[in-house]
Amino acid sequence: MAIALTARQQEVLAFMRSFLAKNDQLPSMQAIADHFGFKSPNSAQDYANALCRKGCIERNALGNWRFVRTGKAVQA
Q: Is the pLDDT of residue 71 over 60?
A: no
Question: Which amino acid, residue 50?
Answer: A
**Model pLDDT for residues 7-58, shown as the tens digit of each residue:** 999 999 999 999 999 999 999 999 999 999 999 999 999 999 999 999 899 9
Please state, as a whole number, how many other Cβ atoms lie within 10 Å of the Cβ of residue 29: 19
CA-closest candidate to residue 30, choices 41, 39, 38: 41
**Model pLDDT for residues 36-50, shown as the tens digit of each residue:** 999 999 999 999 999
The answer to whether 76 and 11 are in contact (CB under 8 A) is no
pTM: 0.83
DSSP 12-69: HHHHHHHHHHHHSSPPPHHHHHHHHT-SSHHHHHHHHHHHHHTTSEEE-TTS-EEE--
CA-closest candidate to residue 12, choices 38, 44, 34: 44
